[in-house]
Structure 1
């Protein structure tokens, strides 16, 4: 039996995934979470075999949650299932320890195949994600403005684009406001923006998010 925790901020998505997995005798959904923070807590308390993780979550995103889950336990694996598979997210998620990556347009059977593979200690990339990563490494491939960001800088960028303030980001990431501010201005410099509004527009343009900023 493969124990799964589902992390997604949409009730309908969690319900659908839970139903799909519950119909298969090889899986047991042991917990569900609507935020990255809840997902981290459940991963620590329940120690499932796999956390099935969305990327675009309120507050602590799937990128930061994946990194923290993997730092806390090398046994708990993370499979990312997201609507946002544009560069550089797949590469950054793999860097911080994700074992699998699929888009939400993937067939249900492929998701089950990926979860079984990851439970055996393998990595799994959907074919379109693998192709995208391979193409991104070819000489002459244009970079997105976010390509040069480290995983931590990308996480800060996504939270800034949501409208989160430096102090709140620091609380989510367990960083001092000064450290977050340093990351913020590195993000601004690397992406050549001068405000959170410009950063949001850039994130929307390159498909990293599709939500309105919070207030």
Structure 2
């Protein structure tokens, strides 16, 4: 029996994943968490073999949460299940100790296969991640500007591109309006853009939003 902990700040995502995993006799969800701090507590409790973790959480970003968990529990398998495409974070998080990286749009059975793989101490490399790794080894192509954004900058960028106001973003992300405004300024500078409408156009043309 593989004991699985689910870490996601959306209750509906946790419930759906738990229901799906319950259909597999060798998997059992033994804990849930909605933040990085709760994920660390889940790991500390010692009742999980694999953590399935989102990287977008209200209290700390996914890289920080992963580092904290792996520093204390280096043998615990952490499978990242993110809404961000693989190109944004996969290779970085694998370097930081993640056992695998999947996009939430993947086939649900791939999540099961990944959990089984990482529970045995192996890395789970999807076809999309394998292609990224191969490109990196080969030297790859110049990375588009948005791939150089930090995780928080990317979150702010995508929210702005979808038309969210700075005030609503600050509330949703547990940040001050001043901090969000600073992130917006950095994003515009790094992408060499001038306005929110430019951000929306950039995001659409690069397939980041629909």
TM-score (normalizing by structure 1): 0.70
Please give the residue correspondences for 1:124-135 in structure 2 after superposition, counting only pairs within 5 Å. 124-135=124-135
Name structure 1 gaps, 5 residues minimum.
Answer: 169-180, 211-215
Structure 1 residues 105 and 121: alpha-carbon distance in aligned structure 2, compared to 1, 3 A threshold: same
Does structure 2 retain, via aligned residues, the 8 Å contact 1:3–1:28? yes
Larger Rg over CA atoms: 2
Deviation at 1:72, TM superposition (A): 0.9
What is the rounded CA distance, in whole Å, between the counterparts of 2:156 and 2:44 in structure 1? 27
CA positional deviation for 1:107:
1.6
Could you say which structure has the higher helix fraction?
2
The runs of 5 or more residues in structure 2 that have no matched partner are: 158-168
CA distance in 1, matches of 2:109, 2:156: 36
Could you list the per-position Cα deviations for residues 116-168 of structure 1 after superposition, in whole angstroms to 9, with x for gaps in the alignment? Answer: 1111111002212222332355445121335557xxxx356457766435xx9
Which residue does the alignment assign to 1:174? none
Alpha-carbon RMSD across the aligned residues, in angstroms, is: 3.4
State which drifts further: 154-163 or 50-59. Answer: 154-163
2:106 equivalent to 1:106? yes
Q: Could you say what secondary structure the match of 1:55 adopts?
A: coil
Does residue 1:61 correspond to 2:51, yes or no? no
Question: Does the Cα contact within 8 Å between 1:87 and 1:144 map onto a contact in 2?
Answer: no
TM-score, with structure 2 as normaliser: 0.71
Distance in 2 between the 1:12 and 1:87 partners?
A: 26
How far did residue 115 of structure 1 move?
A: 0.7
Give distance in 1, aligned partners of 2:15 and 2:54. Answer: 14
